[in-house]
Chains A and B, each alone.
Chain A
Amino acid sequence: QSVLTQPPSVSGAPGQRITISCTGRSSNIGAHHDVNWYQQLPGAAPKLLIYGNNNRPSGVPDRFSGSKSATSASLAITGLQADDEADYYCQSYDIGLRGEVFGTGTKVTVL
């Protein structure tokens, strides 16, 4: 069950900046649990993109950045490229559900 809400789709032209929101509640993001982001290219397994709200694993371009505030988080992609077309998911921990939770997912389209 998804308790983190994301917009179903976001689009932008090459080179533009887009943001993806992840809205949680007091039992997850608002309970000071960190947010991680994953990128899932078509037909592939998810890949860790951002961890701990705003950190990039080695190899992830600095065009990707994350932020967190209160009960929500955001992923920003600058200099949008064609190979950024993918589904993006936020993830955190929910103390009420006593488990990890994923966002509903956002499909990014490059126009």
Chain B
Amino acid sequence: QVHLVQSGAEVKKPGASVRVSCKASGYTFTTYGLVWVRQAPGQGLEWMGWISTSNGNIAYAQNLQDRVTMTTDTSTNTAYMELRSLRSDDTAVYYCARKGGPYGSFDSWGQGTLVTVSS
């Protein structure tokens, strides 16, 4: 059974950076890419980017590409998302999801990581 387990909640000050991890199990990690999606309080879903777990190819959302970095560690089947220069409007639940479903759908999701940015 596919599982994506994310790191715990974080509280950061404006201007700081945060790194969220996503550990995969139950399938061959390098077979499917991973996406990161965030959801601000009471708001909708926002796609942040995609990373290939086999060759490291990456695509970032245009509005975040200057502040976000996505990486993977195939030795531990873990993906990471780092967001820099945090602002209050970066406060959100951050999800990783496997882009493994047919037609490029996101078929398994992590439990989410709440990142709070506050002075």
Binding site for B on A (CB under 8 A): 1-2, 34, 36, 38, 40, 45-48, 51-53, 55, 57, 89, 91, 93, 97-105
- Would you give the shortest CB distance from A27 to chain B, in whole angstroms? 13
- Cross-interface CB contact of A51 among B45, B63, B102, cutoff 8 Å: B102
Contact of A45 among B44, B62, B110 (CB under 8 A): B110
Find out whether the CB atom of B103 lies under 8 angstroms from the CB atom of A52.
Answer: yes
B106 CB, min distance to chain A CBs, angstroms? 6
**B106/A52 in contact, CB under 8 A:** no
Residues of B within 8 A of A99 (CB): 47, 49-50, 59-62
Q: Which residues of A contact B61 (CB under 8 A)?
A: 97, 99
CA distance A59 to B24 in the complex (A): 22
B73 beta carbon closer than 8 Å to chain A: no
- Of the residues A36, A38, A40, contact of B103 by C-beta under 8 Å: A36
Instruction: Give the most central of B47, B49, B102: most A CB within 10 Å.
Output: B47
- Residues from chain A with a CB closer than 8 A to the CB of B37 are 46, 102
Contact pick for A47, options B45, B50, B109, CB 8 Å: B109
Chain B residue contacts of A57, Cβ below 8 A: 101, 107
Q: Known interface pairs A45-B111, A103-B44. Does A55 touch B102 (Cβ–Cβ under 8 Å)?
A: yes
Ranked nearest first, the 10 interchain pairs of A and B with the lowest CB-CB distance are A52-B103, A51-B105, A105-B44, A36-B105, A45-B109, A100-B47, A102-B45, A34-B103, A48-B107, A51-B103
In the bound complex, residues from chain A placing their C-beta under 8 Å from that of B103 are 34, 36, 51-53, 55
A53 to B107, CA, bound (A): 14
Task: List, in ascending order, chain A residues with CB within 8 A of B50's CB.
Answer: 99-100
Which of B13-58 touch A at CB < 8 Å?
35, 37, 44-47, 49-50
User: Contact partner of B47 among A40, A55, A101, CB < 8 A?
Assistant: A101
Cβ–Cβ contact A46 & B102, under 8 A: no
Query: Of B60, B101, B110, B112, which one neighbours A48 at CB under 8 angstroms?
Result: B101
Known: A45-B95, A45-B111, A103-B44. A98 touches B59 (CB 8 A): yes
CB distance from A104 to the nearest CB of B (A): 6
Q: Is A52 a contact of B59 with CB atoms below 8 Å?
A: no
| Nearest CB in chain B: distance from A17 CB, A | 24
